[in-house]
Amino acid sequence: MAQVPAILDVPIGLDATGTRREFDSLGEVEVPANRYWGAQTQRSLEHFDIGDDRMPKQVYHAYGFVKKAAAIVNTRTGRLPRWKGELIQRVCDEVISGALDEQFPLYVWQTGSGTQSNMNLNEVISNRCIQLVGGTLGSQAPIHPNDHVNMGQSSNDTFPTAMHIAAFTLATEKTIPALRLLRDAIAAKSKAWAEVVKIGRTHLEDATPLTVGQEWSGYAAALDDAIAEVEHATRGLLKLAMGGTAVGTGLNAPAGFGEQVAAELASMTGRAFESAPNKFTAQGTLDRMVRAHAGLKSAAVTLYKIANDLRWLGSGPRTGLHELLLPANEPGSSIMPGKVNPTQAEAMLMVAIAVMASDVAVTMGGAEGNFELNAFRPLLISNYLHSARIMADMCDHFRKFMIEGARLNEAKLKDNIDQSVMMVTALSPVIGYDQASAVSRYAIANDLTLKQAALAKGVSEELFDRVVNPLALTRAGSADIAT
């Protein structure tokens, strides 16, 4: 029986300069001596040095869970000696914590299967394990990146598994909570302004009255619907490709491996992850990721509508709608003194546009699931995590720096009510549509208030005051007032 080496208490880091020689199946490669990665990582850095877009660190943190869960199962079933399994698990904890983040430098634009990122992780874990037993880095012994760290696994099943874990975690820990907090802040304003009457607008033209609370209740309910859709789509990510290995058959993995690893992942994360019932779907498509991002896109549409409405309602201060008084976050102009702009709304619109545009890339990448593998995975996970993160951050900022500090310009709201002509709609059931139309046209043509025009056209003051009651007109059953 091989002797079990002592595990050393060595802090993370390599005090070395120059390069060291690493190898893979294609031959030897010089890598920086102060880094844990190996030959395949170095090849990727040289061949795919494209732009500034790095594989998100959340992917590697999620991958740390995958490698740890696999090591646990491989150890339990006797495929890995206990000391090797436990050593791999120890280093996986360092990956999960972010302590090894600088060891994961690869770009998003790489092999579409994610193989290079998987091997980056395997190499780093291998060399860190070797360091902890006092071995020679780059020797791939006693912990081999493929034979031990990647045991029973393929990039083709582990990368989409890590994708789902990273995406689900970000959505449930940041994006959905941020959407809920924003929804609650809007609902609080709706309640506070429940009795404040304003003129509605349809087709950008004056319409009948409603309360500000009713208008904002529409925003809150729209977010309720959006949140429900995001939650539903995100739950689809709980199904994992783990166990399918290369093409979905599970070659080189023992029976039940995917289910056992998924159970470990659920236990470690507290999330209800489970093995996907059909690995050919899980690896040949990215449909669940496409649907999850579509949920974010749908929420972005709702957020765009709300932010766009509010920036117009706050326009002014002298020549705009100016119904809302928006918080002044910063000076709005480098040349016009005193100018304040709806910057949080503008930022929200830009974020929403970015998410909508990202959805096009995600949709197209998701459609490229050729045969047994979708080879556009890095594109999808990068776009998803970017969309989920900026949406979460933007919702928090929009809530704190715009919604919570927004106030009403009640004088402007009252003036709009006094000048409104479209409340003539309330007279229509009493005097008829044609006569009501004549009253409204007369008011507009002669620059009169609605009441002045109605009295001039023969409507009694008693009838007008009884029927045209702004607050009453915002409630169902207002037609009963006319009878």
Same domain, 341 and 448: no
pTM of the model: 0.96
- How many CB atoms sit inside 10 A of residue 234's CB? 23
Annotated catalytic residue 298: no
Please tell me which residue in 333, 387, 428, 437 is annotated as part of the active site.
333
Mean pLDDT of 371-376: 98
End residue of a domain, out of 131, 151, 171: 151
Same domain, 359 and 286: yes
Residue 226's domain is classified under what CATH number? Answer: 1.20.200.10
* Residue at 393 is within a domain: yes
Confidence of residue 3 (pLDDT cuts 50, 70, 90): confident
Same domain, 403 and 434: no
Confidence of residue 476 (pLDDT cuts 50, 70, 90): confident
Residue 447's domain is classified under what CATH number? Answer: 1.10.40.30
pLDDT in tens, 8-26: 999 999 999 999 999 999 9
Same domain, 138 and 220: no
Mean of all residue pLDDT scores within the chain: 96
* Residue at 359 is within a domain: yes
Same domain, 177 and 231: yes
* Residue at 70 is within a domain: yes
End residue of a domain, out of 151, 177, 203: 151
pLDDT in tens, 149-189: 999 999 999 999 999 999 999 999 999 999 999 999 999 99
3-state secondary structure of 471: coil
Say how many domains are in the chain: 3
pLDDT in tens, 25-84: 999 999 999 999 999 999 999 999 999 999 999 999 999 999 999 999 999 999 999 999
Same domain, 316 and 220: yes
Residue 111's domain is classified under what CATH number? Answer: 1.10.275.10
Same domain, 195 and 327: yes
* Residue at 308 is within a domain: yes
Beta-strand pair 27-32/19-24: antiparallel
pLDDT in tens, 417-427: 999 999 999 99
* Residue at 366 is within a domain: yes
Same domain, 363 and 258: yes
Beta-strand pair 27-32/197-202: unpaired
The pLDDT score that the predictor gives to residue 246 is 98
* Residue at 390 is within a domain: yes
Same domain, 441 and 458: yes
* Residue at 203 is within a domain: yes
End residue of a domain, out of 391, 411, 431: 411
The pLDDT score that the predictor gives to residue 479 is 59
pLDDT in tens, 407-456: 999 999 999 999 999 999 999 999 999 999 999 999 999 999 999 999 99
Look up residue 319 and give its DSSP letter: S
* pLDDT of 296 strictly over 70: yes
Assigned token pair, 45: 């850095």
pLDDT in tens, 256-290: 999 999 999 999 999 999 999 999 999 999 999 99
Annotated catalytic residue 203: yes
* Residue at 12 is within a domain: no
**Which residues on neighbouring strands pair with residue 107, listed in sequence order?**
54
Could you give phi then psi for residue 354, rounded to 5 degrees? -60, -40
Mean pLDDT of 126-136: 98
The pLDDT score that the predictor gives to residue 483 is 52
Q: Which residue, among 156, 368, 123, has the nearest Cα to 258 in the 3D structure?
A: 156
DSSP symbols for 3-37: PPPPPP---S-----SEEEEEETTEEEEEETT---
The pLDDT score that the predictor gives to residue 480 is 59
d(CA 197, CA 213): 8
Q: Which residue, among 14, 39, 37, has the nearest Cα to 25 in the 3D structure?
A: 39
Name the residue range of residue 475's domain.
Answer: 421-482
Planar angle of CA 428, 197, 199, nearest 5 degrees = 55
Please tell me which residue in 203, 382, 397, 437 is annotated as part of the active site.
203
b vs e for 420-436, b when ≥16 Cβ sit within 10 Å of the residue's Cβ?
A: bbbbbbbbbbbbeeebb
Same domain, 206 and 265: yes
* pLDDT of 482 strictly over 80: no
Distance linking the first and last C-alpha atoms of the chain: 99
Planar angle of CA 303, 170, 283, nearest 5 degrees = 105
Same domain, 100 and 224: no
Same domain, 106 and 205: no
pLDDT in tens, 77-126: 999 999 999 999 999 999 999 999 999 999 999 999 999 999 999 999 99
The pLDDT score that the predictor gives to residue 312 is 98
